[in-house]
C-alpha cells in the first residue's frame, strides 16, 4: 500500500507503511514453552530480561496532541485500521500467555486511547486470570488520557485492573486545550483521576510531557497540586518518537532543569528506584528536617532524551494488529498475528512461544544510547520510526 498524504499537503503519513512492512519471523531458534524448565527468564543479547509487555488495543484516540497524533495528519479522512485487522481479545490473551511463559510480569494496556476499545473490561478479565511463571498474578495497568475514566473506573477495577496512569500536560485550561487540540477541559481529567482513586485503582501515576515554551511553566503548579494526594506525578522529556510530531531538540527541557525548578520551589530528596528497569528517577517531597515524608508523596522524571535508560530496558510492545516491536523507536515489527490466526492448536502455541523467545533473544535495540551518534534522518528515503499512537508510549 502506498503512503497516504494529507490532501492539502506537506506531511506524509508513515503509519500505513509500518503497518504493512514487517521483519521476518525467526525459525528454529530460541526456547519454546515446552523446553522451558519451569520458572524462567528469557534475556536478549545485552542480558536484558523480558518483564514488561505493552499492548495497544486501538489505534484511535479522541485527543489530537501535537506530540502524538497531530490534527493535520490524523484528520477526519485518516484511514484507521479496520476492525477485522485488530487482534481479538482472545488473540491478545493467547499471545500474552506466551509472553508470560518467557518471564513477563507486567502488562500495560495502551492505545491510542485504550478506553475507546469497546468492552475492554472483558479483555482485562482474561488477562487477570493469567499467572507468572512463579504463580503470582500479573501486574495489570492501563495508560489513559482520562477523558472516559470517570465513567469506567469502577468497571475497570471490578474486571481486575490494578492501576492507571493518566496523561495530563498542565492544569491551566488554555494550555491543556492547546495541547490536546480538541478543547477538552482539565476538570474532566481531574474528575477521572478522583474516580479512579475512589475505585481503588492505585497508586495512580500522572504523566506530564514537558515541551519547552509550551507548558514548562506548569511544572511547579502541577507538583503543588498533586503533593500529598497519593498521586505520583512524572515529568517526561519531549521525545523524538515517530515522524509526525515535528520534534526539535530545542523544545526538550532536560529533566535536570525540571528538578532544579522544583527544588527552587520545594525541598526534594532523591529516592531509590522502585524496581529493576524503572524508567523514572524518583524524588520525594521532604519535610522540615530534610527527610522524605511519605505522606507528601513523590515526583519522578523520565529522561528519555538526555539520560538514556536502554541498558536495562525490559519492555516489548504489541501493536493493535499484532506487530511485535522491541523498541519505542523501532521502524519495523514482527507479525505475530499471522502465527496466531494460522494455527489455533497447541502446536500453534508452541510455535508462537518459540518465535517470541527467538525474537527477544536476538534483540539488540538501544536507540536512545546511540541517538547522539546517529546521522540526522532525512524526511524521506529512510525507514521512519513507528508512531507512538500505534504502539503506545
**pLDDT tens figures, 71-98:** 988 998 999 999 999 999 999 999 999 9
Instruction: State what percent of residues in the chain have pLDDT above 70.
Output: 84
Q: What is the mean pLDDT of the chain?
A: 86
Bridge-based pairing of strands 232-237 and 298-302 is: parallel
**Angstrom distances, CA of residue 113 to CA of 65, 132, 201:** 12, 27, 18
| pLDDT over 70 at 205, yes or no | yes
Give pLDDT, residue 1. 36
Report angle CA 225, 229, 230 to the nearest 5 degrees: 130
Distance from C-alpha of 135 to C-alpha of 118, rounded to nearest angstrom: 30
The count of residues in the chain is: 393
Which residue, 201, 87, 187, is CA-closest to 153? 201
Q: How far is CA 231 from the centre of its chain?
A: 18
d(CA 188, CA 298): 24
The closest alpha carbon to 235, from 214, 250, 256, 249, belongs to: 256
Q: Is the pLDDT of residue 393 over 60?
A: yes
Q: Which is higher by pLDDT, 275 or 135?
A: 135
* Unique residue bearing C-alpha cell 506525578: 233
Domains and CATH numbers, the chain: 15-27+47-391 (3.20.20.70)
Could you write out the three-class secondary structure of the chain? CCCCECCCCCCECCHHHHHHCEECCCCCCCCCCCCCCCCCCCECCCCCECCEEEEECCCCCCCCCCCCCCCCCCCCCCCCCCHHHCCCHHHHHHHHHHHHHCCCCEEEEECCCHHHCCCHHHHHHHHHCCECCCCCECEEEEEECCCCHHHHHHHHHHHCCCEEEEECCCCCHHHHHHHHCCCCCHHHHHHHHHHHHHHCCCCCEEEEEEECCCCHHHHHHHHHHHCCCCCEEEEEECCCCCCCCCCCHHHECCHHHHHHHHHHHCCEEECCCCCCCCCCEEEEEECCCCCECCCCCEEEEECCCCCCCHHHCCEEEECCCCEEECCCCCCCEEEHHHHHHHCCCHHHHHHHHHHHHHHHHCCCCCHHHHHHHCCCCCCCCCCCCCCHHHHCC
Report the alpha-carbon distance of residue 229 to residue 370 in Å, rounded.
38
Structure confidence at residue 22 (pLDDT): 79
Beta bridge partners, 236, equal: 209, 302
The residue-averaged pLDDT of 204-229 equals 96
What pLDDT shows up at residue 86? Answer: 96
Write out pLDDT tens, residues 341-380. 998 888 899 999 999 999 999 999 887 777 656 655 433 3
Question: What is the model's pTM?
Answer: 0.87
Radius of gyration of the chain (CA): 21
Residue 291, Cβ neighbours under 10 Å: how many? 11
pLDDT band at residue 329 under the 50/70/90 scheme? confident
Amino acid at each position: 500500500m502506498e503512503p497516504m498524504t494529507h490532501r492539502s499537503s506537506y506531511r506524509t503519513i508513515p503509519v500505513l507503511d509500518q503497518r504493512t512492512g514487517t521483519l521476518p519471523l525467526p525459525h528454529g531458534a530460541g526456547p519454546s514453552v515446552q523446553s522451558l524448565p519451569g520458572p524462567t527468564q528469557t534475556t536478549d543479547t545485552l542480558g536484558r530480561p523480558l518483564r514488561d509487555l505493552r499492548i495497544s488495543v486501538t489505534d484511535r484516540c479522541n485527543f489530537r496532541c501535537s506530540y502524538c497524533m497531530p490534527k493535520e495528519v490524523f484528520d477526519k479522512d485518516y484511514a484507521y485500521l479496520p476492525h477485522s485487522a485488530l487482534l481479538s481479545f482472545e488473540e491478545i490473551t493467547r499471545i500474552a500467555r506466551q509472553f508470560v511463559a518467557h518471564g513477563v510480569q507486567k502488562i500495560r494496556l495502551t492505545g491510542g486511547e485504550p478506553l475507546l476499545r469497546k468492552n475492554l473490561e472483558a479483555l482485562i478479565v482474561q488477562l487477570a486470570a493469567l499467572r507468572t511463571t512463579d504463580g503470582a498474578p500479573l501486574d495489570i495497568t492501563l495508560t489513559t488520557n482520562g477523558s472516559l475514566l470517570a465513567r469506567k473506573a469502577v468497571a475497570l477495577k471490578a474486571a481486575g485492573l490494578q492501576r492507571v496512569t493518566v496523561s495530563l500536560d498542565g492544569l491551566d485550561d488554555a494550555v491543556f486545550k492547546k495541547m490536546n487540540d480538541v478543547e477538552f477541559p482539565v476538570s474532566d481529567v481531574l474528575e477521572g483521576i478522583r474516580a479512579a482513586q475512589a475505585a481503588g485503582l492505585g497508586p495512580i501515576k500522572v504523566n506530564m510531557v514537558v515541551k519547552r515554551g509550551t507548558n514548562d511553566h506548569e511544572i511547579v503548579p502541577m507538583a503543588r497540586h498533586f503533593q500529598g494526594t497519593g498521586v505520583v506525578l512524572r515529568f517526561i522529556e519531549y521525545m523524538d518518537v515517530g515522524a509526525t510530531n515535528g520534534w526539535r531538540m530545542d523544545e526538550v527541557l532536560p529533566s535536570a532543569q525540571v528538578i532544579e525548578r522544583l527544588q527552587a520551589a520545594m525541598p526534594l530528596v532523591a529516592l531509590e528506584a522502585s524496581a529493576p528497569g524503572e524508567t523514572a528517577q524518583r524524588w520525594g517531597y521532604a519535610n522540615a528536617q530534610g527527610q522524605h515524608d511519605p505522606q507528601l508523596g513523590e515526583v519522578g522524571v523520565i529522561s528519555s532524551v538526555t539520560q538514556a535508560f536502554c541498558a536495562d530496558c525490559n519492555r516489548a510492545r504489541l501493536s493493535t494488529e499484532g506487530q511485535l516491536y522491541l523498541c519505542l523507536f523501532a521502524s519495523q515489527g514482527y507479525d505475530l498475528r499471522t502465527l496466531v490466526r494460522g494455527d489455533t492448536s497447541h502446536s500453534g502455541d508452541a510455535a508462537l512461544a518459540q518465535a517470541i523467545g527467538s525474537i527477544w533473544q536476538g534483540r539488540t535495540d538501544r536507540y536512545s544510547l546511540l541517538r547522539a551518534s546517529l546521522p540526522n534522518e532525512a524526511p524521506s528515503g529512510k525507514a521512519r520510526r513507528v508512531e507512538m499512537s500505534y504502539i503506545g508510549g
